Amino acid sequence: MKNPIFIIEGGLGNQLFQLAYAHSSIRGGNKKFGLIFNSKNTQKTSFQLSPILKECRHFSFVQDIGNLMRVFPPLDGSGQLLSKVRGSLFEDWLISREKQYFTYDEKSVFDFKPINRGYFQHTNYVDNSYELFFPELCATIKNIRDQSSISLLDPFTGLHIRRGDYSVQDQGLIHLKYYERILELEESMGNKSIIFGDDEDILLSLSKEFKNSKTFGPSAANAWEVISWLAISNRTYTANSTLSWWGGYLANMNGSKTFLPSPWFLNQEVGDAFVFPGSQLLASSWVT
């Protein structure tokens, strides 16, 4: 098989799962992989892998999907129907899809089409990428911390709160009381808590209620910084978010006690996709 190509989409957490799988796909050989960023299907996010690609020796190119669609030029430049036909041809002829989300299957995609698409969200895929991927990832997050305006020197508990674009019906919103109970516990133990999140109002409220905590919203900490600082926390609590999952996974590797919400989603079964050795499951409560 020639060098595989992978579509990159979603936020940073999703993109890292896809990049880890791309690394796992070339184990045991001298191949490289190509990356296509799906800018047409990524709302409010951009290609966020540039920092780690500076450390990566295993990719051959990065391309935007819009440029590849020129392979199917419009026949007469008229209407949306032709555009949809072109997109359908692109999908059917060139792209293999992950067969089942949140399920580990080493042969989940490859069926002799040149481009592979999926989320590949399973701990086993990440574990399989360890030898090739993790030296690059660890070097990247160290660089991010070294360049960050945030300075966290003392031992701390790391907590990530995800609200933003999650809906009550689909992934489910974890209730604020879930996070408040965590902070009450950590405060009773005398631990300093660092809270990352995407809702400035909630963070402000928590910082007033819990005096032994410090908060960083999206204007103070970007996605890479969230992962990088969570990765060195002594105790780590993730949201049902792939972004904080990476912080928790790395923190666990560094000896942190890492807690994951369970169930991960309210109305979608993910099995053991996000569970890793050493992680502890914490019963989640939901906004209904």
**157-214: pLDDT as tens digits:** 999 999 876 655 567 889 999 999 999 999 999 999 999 999 999 999 999 999 999 9
pLDDT at residue 2 is higher than 70:
yes
Structure tokens at 52: 């780690």
Return the pLDDT at 203. Answer: 96
What residue segments make up the domains of the chain, in order of their start?
5-131, 154-283
pLDDT at residue 237 is higher than 70:
yes
Return the pLDDT at 74. Answer: 44
* Nearest-angstrom CA–CA distance, 11 and 45: 6
Q: 280 and 259 in contact (C-beta within 8 Å)?
A: yes
Q: What is the CATH number of domain 154-283?
A: 3.40.50.2000
Question: pTM of the prediction?
Answer: 0.91
Nearest to 162, CA basis, from 148, 176, 151: 176
Place of tokens 């369970």: 262
pLDDT at residue 81 is higher than 70:
no
Q: What are the phi and psi torsion angles at 129 (to 5°)?
A: -90, 0
| CB-based contacts of 245, cutoff 8 Å, min separation 6 | 13, 238, 260, 274
Confidence band of 153 (pLDDT split at 50, 70, 90): confident
How open is the CA angle 99-5-93, to the nearest 5 degrees?
Answer: 65
DSSP 109-155: S-SS-SEEE-----HHHHHHTHHHHHHHHHHHHHHHHHH-S----S-
| CB-based contacts of 199, cutoff 8 Å, min separation 6 | 161, 163, 164, 217
Q: 134 and 58 in contact (C-beta within 8 Å)?
A: no
Return the pLDDT at 1. Answer: 54
Structure tokens at 21: 């799988």
